[in-house]
């Protein structure tokens, strides 16, 4: 069974989401605790600025119990004491499959059709797979999500206009500063999001760009790639006042811009307006910064209000995208359901073969080699024919493995080895 619990910008505010953020360095530790507490070991964790989702594969528990166990383990791991279940959603099997495909295709994003999410899903999948946390069910699920994303983005117009949080952040700045050309911008963060921010800033005519990162090598590489000025991270505090716009996009678990740093910047700017944009989760700029005079602070949730002139056209693509998603999801669910038939099919095939061999052993004692060969060939043909008939009827009766009740009865009929041994005696 596939299960999912998650929290997103649709169900909770930023201050709740950031408590449940799971950066890569915590995923393996969380998986170890989850396995110790529940026995669930096959997971993929997707943690972005807009959502934290845990996909899991297991057959030990009923879904509602399993989802609550995963949630409680997450709370325990993150040290969250207050109740937050009302902010979470949980889905199983087909609903979980459809949800992942919608997320991968950008339908469930804050900005419909945004591009960054599919890269984040691929990174999450590769990380968890390399760590040995995924089984065949999750592997195929995420590979099919990549297929859904590719088809939706190539067969619809869902990518039109602003399609990423990074470009929305720059658009927000442009609404405050009509002339971005002369503005000085500092980017803190040299990851994928940071790179997309720089691309968007360049497209909007910004030329005075500075980039910094806790790892100097990363900031140097990104600065060279985008023709920016690198700034050592330990010099951010003393140079902060130089910048009209400060954008923070990192995975830091603690604030990188403190109230004290922002206050010093305000003193040195002589009343000039300064804009901070925090697109990190957890937040990397202390919330109190927004109370300062001549300072504007935007967080990831503030980007909801970004005006997108192409939004309606992208919304029109959602129905077509859903048709594509439904087709690929059905294909995956058929495969998933058929996996439940494998034990019964294997047992039917093995038992038919045992019965045939048992019956032939008596005939072969009294017949010539030529007759034995003819009987063997005929019996094998008959065995294969009836085996195929059994399997065909099995798939029809169980709706290709979807009808759990019928499948349980079938497994009961064919799974007991001792019954077959009695038949062959």
Among all residues, which ones are annotated catalytic?
A: 49
d(CA 74, CA 275): 35
d(CA 204, CA 43): 40
52: left (phi over 0), alpha (psi -120 to 50) or beta: beta
Q: Is 154 exposed, middle or buried (0-12, 13-18, 19+ CB in 10 A)?
A: exposed
Angle formed at CA 343 by CA 340 and CA 347, multiple of 5 degrees: 150
d(CA 161, CA 310): 5
Other C-beta atoms within 10 Å of 275: how many?
Answer: 19
Contact between residue 246 and residue 217 where contact means Cβ atoms under 8 Å apart: no
Instruction: Map residue 189 onto helix, strand or coil.
Output: coil
Q: Are strands 184-188 and 274-278 parallel, antiparallel or unpaired?
A: unpaired
| Closest alpha carbon to 158 in 196, 202, 102, 203 | 102
Rg, Å, the chain Cα set: 29
Instruction: Map residue 271 onto helix, strand or coil.
Output: coil
d(CA 385, CA 407): 22
Angle (deg, nearest 10), helices 24-38 and 63-78: 130
Query: What is the H or E stretch that residue 90 is in?
Result: strand 89-92
């Amino acid at each position: 069974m596939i299960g999912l619990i998650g929290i997103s910008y649709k169900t909770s505010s930023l201050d709740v989401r950031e408590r449940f953020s799971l950066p890569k360095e915590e995923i393996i530790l969380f998986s170890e605790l989850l396995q110790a507490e529940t026995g669930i070991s096959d997971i993929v964790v997707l943690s972005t600025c807009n959502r934290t989702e845990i996909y899991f594969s297991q057959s030990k528990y009923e879904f509602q119990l399993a989802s609550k166990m995963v949630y409680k383990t997450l709370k325990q791991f993150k040290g969250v004491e207050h109740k937050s279940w009302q902010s979470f959603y949980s889905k199983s099997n087909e609903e979980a499959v459809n949800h992942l495909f919608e997320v991968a295709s950008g339908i469930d994003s804050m900005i419909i059709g945004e591009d960054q999410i599919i890269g984040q899903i691929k990174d999450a999948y590769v990380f968890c797979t390399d760590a040995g946390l995924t089984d065949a069910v999750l592997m195929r699920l995420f590979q099919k999500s990549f297929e859904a994303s590719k088809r939706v983005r190539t067969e619809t117009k869902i990518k039109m206009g602003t399609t990423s949080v990074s470009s929305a952040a720059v658009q927000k700045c442009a609404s405050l500063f009509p002339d971005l050309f002369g503005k000085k911008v500092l980017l803190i963060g040299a990851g994928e999001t940071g790179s997309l921010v720089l691309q968007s800033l360049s497209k909007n005519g910004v030329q005075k760009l500075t980039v910094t990162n806790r790892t100097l090598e990363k900031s140097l590489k990104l600065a060279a790639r985008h023709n920016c000025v690198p700034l050592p991270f330990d010099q951010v505090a003393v140079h902060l006042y130089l910048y009209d716009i400060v954008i923070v996009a990192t995975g830091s678990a603690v604030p990188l811009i403190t109230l004290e740093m922002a206050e010093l910047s305000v003193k040195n700017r002589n009343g000039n307006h300064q804009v901070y944009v925090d697109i990190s989760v957890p937040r990397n700029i202390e919330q109190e910064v927004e109370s300062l005079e001549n300072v504007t602070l935007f967080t990831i949730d503030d980007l909801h209000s970004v005006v997108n002139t192409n939004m309606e056209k992208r919304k029109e693509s959602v129905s077509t995208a859903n048709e594509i998603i439904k087709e690929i999801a059905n294909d995956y669910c058929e495969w998933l359901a058929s996996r439940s038939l494998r034990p019964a099919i294997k047992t039917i095939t093995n038992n038919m073969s045992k019965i045939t061999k048992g019956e032939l052993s008596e005939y072969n004692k009294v017949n010539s080699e030529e007759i034995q060969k003819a009987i063997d060939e005929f019996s094998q043909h008959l065995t294969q024919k009836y085996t195929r008939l059994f399997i065909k009827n099995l798939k029809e009766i169980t709706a290709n493995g979807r009808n759990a009740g019928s499948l349980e009865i079938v497994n009961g009929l064919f799974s007991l080895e001792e019954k077959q041994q009695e038949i062959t005696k």
